[in-house]
Chains A and B, each alone.
Chain A
Amino acid sequence: MSDELKIFKKKLDDVGIVALVGDVTSLSEEQIIKSYEEFADDGLHLIIFDFALVSYINSSGIAILIGIVNKAKQKGLTISVAGLAPHFQKIFKMVGLTRFIQLHDSVENALNSKGVNPDVSVSN
């Protein structure tokens, strides 16, 4: 496991929230994919990745997300990203990721847009 990233998860109705704290790089690939797969296998409809406490994403991190979007498409799952810093919003648009994922300012906004009560305290 990478020391560069901590992951906290929470489930609300049929929505999974994956809060990432640290760096999103190839060093954290296994952790991120595992978190996605645990929720995806749980029959959820939406997974929100919370990037509010992520300060570094590199091209390998982008590639991890593209892989997750691919897996999610095959399962009919929606992926949203919340709390992304403006620079990384620009990067996501540049590579085309925003064609496939919805960006929200915060997890609360992402949940509100789906009509889910945003009680969003998360835990391991």
Chain B
Amino acid sequence: MSKSTIELRIPGELGYEKVAMEAAATMARKMKFSPERIEDLRTAVSEACINAVEHGTKGDRRGKVAVALTRDGKKLQIAVKDRGPGFTYESEEPNIFEKLVDEGNTRGWGMFLIENLVDEVEITSKPDKGTTVRMVIHLDNAGEGPGDE
């Protein structure tokens, strides 16, 4: 089966991540992912878009976040890209006990959730060139849902 891609550009403003979530969920339903996996994907896409808005466009509605959804056989890939300052990603698991004693720092769960909800994650970030978070879920690992195709 050939690849097919849908591309979206959402405003760099919190709340619009739901547009990307729904697009990803629609594509996953068409590919017959199970409802549970679709929920996982919705959360992962939402978190990637929120990171792009908060750290990439820094909440500037004029700064866009590009979302590319690619169906490739039994694989669904979602790439979320911003043109922000970039960052150095360190995969360190947040600890709720530490969060509970530091009232000012209860956040920081986004990447942790993404890594635990999808099958593959790749982060590419370059200073002043932006960041791309590429997430993949595989139908084989998912269990098939009812779908609509």
Q: Write the residues of chain A forming the contact surface with B, with a CB cutoff of 8 angstroms.
A: 4, 25-27, 56, 58-60, 62-64, 66-67, 69-71, 73, 86-87, 91, 94-97, 99-100
Contact = CB atoms under 8 A, between A and B. Distances in A.
Interface stretch (B66-74, B110-118, B124-132, B141-149): B110-118
Given A87-B40, A97-B96, A67 B15 contact: no
A25 B21 CA distance: 15
A67 B105 CA distance: 9
Contact of B96 (A26, A60, A73, A95): A95
B113 A94 contact: yes
B100 A59 contact: no
B96 A67 contact: no
Nearest to A98: B96
A96 B98 CA distance: 11
B106 A66 contact: yes
A58 B80 CA distance: 17
B40 A4 contact: no
A56 to B, nearest CB: 7
28 contacts: A25-B14, A27-B14, A58-B17, A58-B47, A58-B50, A59-B47, A59-B108, A63-B99, A63-B106, A63-B107, A66-B96, A66-B99, A66-B106, A67-B103, A67-B106, A70-B99, A70-B106, A71-B103, A73-B100, A87-B39, A91-B43, A94-B113, A94-B116, A95-B109, A95-B113, A99-B96, A100-B96, A100-B100
Q: Secondary structure at chain B's binding surface: helix, strand, loop or mixed?
A: helix
Interface of B: 14-15, 17-18, 36, 39-40, 43, 46-47, 50, 94-97, 99-101, 103, 106-110, 112-113, 116
A99 B95 CA distance: 12
A87 B96 contact: no
B50 A60 contact: yes
Contacts of B36: 86-87
Contact of B15 (A27, A71, A95): A27
